[in-house]
Amino acid sequence: MSSAPVPDPVPVPVPVPVPVTVADVARARHRIAGLVDPSPVIRSPRLSDLIGVPVWLKLECLQPPGSFKVRGAASKMLALPQAQRARGVITSSGGNHGASVAYVARLLGIPATVCVPETVDPVKLRAIRDNGAEAIVGGATYDDAEAVSRRLERERGLTYVHAFDDPDVIAGQGTIALELIEQVPELTAVVAAVSGGGLIGGLGTALKGLRPWVTVIGASAQNAAAMVASVRAGYPVDVPYRRTLAEVLGGGIGLDNRWSLDAVRAFVDEHVLVTEDDIAAAMLFILRVHRVVAEGGGAVGVAAALAGKLARADGPVAIVVSGGNADPAAILALAAGDGKG
């Protein structure tokens, strides 16, 4: 691991219109610098031995709200005019985005409302409320919570902070890639979770602009693969709701998706799917081997590695551990279930 300056962007032809550019990501990095610190990377010798190339873990789970979502929330909210900040913001979230919006709103003095589904993890709900936001629990799924938030947006005159389908949010998530280029300059592949596409789309935007030879791999839970289905179809599609340990990756990408699907189609080279057993094994691996707590959605990249789905890697790989807001009791239950304690 070493530090190296980020070079000027390299133009890269892409198959679809580009919703966000590497210049947008660079501006977002400057914008959020006062609120969001770079996250550390650690080497994973066990994963390195398994795959046969150096593997690094980018620990976004250590961000103060517990996930990478703080980057996109800060990027969006800092870009708002003062009048919109004063009226307040609203969002819908499976948990991590809502906690990040609440955290940034508290730091900036912006009133915030967060709508979450009934399936929200208690850890994430507590984080939202602890940061002073109004939390409204309603609906069985993320999509139901979004419908509530959109109604309140109109009724209260609030500004909606989308969890993924927004250029400022995508650019904010892409700042992770700028750090990785400096932390692991010899990088050949990056693996990150896929849900609505803000994270992997932002990473891809920056990486393909600055390191076009780096392979961008999206890891999805089999039970929460709306983006993969949409990429295959070429347009946004819904998938049936299924329970998953990676609950933050659930929900659709929105049938009116404007930005994140195009970013994923343009910049993500490969998609892999992981099972519930893969996810459970990854959560326990990260805790036992690295003493780091990762939630299911944050562990899908490591799950892909453990399941042998990164066999094409031919050089150093970085895996983004994107969230750590896991219920300790749930991880203890997984540990008890696998018989290793």
Under 8 Å between Cβ of 67 and 60 = yes
pLDDT average, residue stretch 203-220: 96
Architecture of domain 69-160: 3-Layer(aba) Sandwich (3.40)
Residue 142's pLDDT is what? 76
User: How much is the pLDDT for 8?
Assistant: 38
Q: Give the CA distances from residue 24 to residues 76, 202, 206, in Å, rounded to whole numbers and listed in that order.
A: 12, 10, 9
- Polymer length in residues for the chain: 341
Q: How confident is residue 144, by pLDDT bands cut at 50, 70 and 90?
A: confident
Element (H, E) at 273: strand 270-274
pLDDT single digits (tens) 265-312 = 999 999 999 999 999 999 999 999 999 999 999 999 999 999 999 876
Q: What confidence tens digit (pLDDT) does each residue in 68-117 have?
A: 999 999 999 999 999 999 999 999 986 789 999 999 999 999 999 999 98
Average pLDDT over residues 198-225: 96
One DSSP character per residue, 211-232 reads -TTSEEEEEEETTS-HHHHHHH
Strands across the sheet containing 159-160: 134-137, 112-116, 89-92, 159-160
CATH 3.40.50.1100 maps onto the chain at 22-67+166-337, 69-160
- Mean pLDDT confidence for 125-154: 90
123 — pLDDT class (breaks 50, 70, 90): confident
CATH fold label, 22-67+166-337: Rossmann fold (3.40.50)
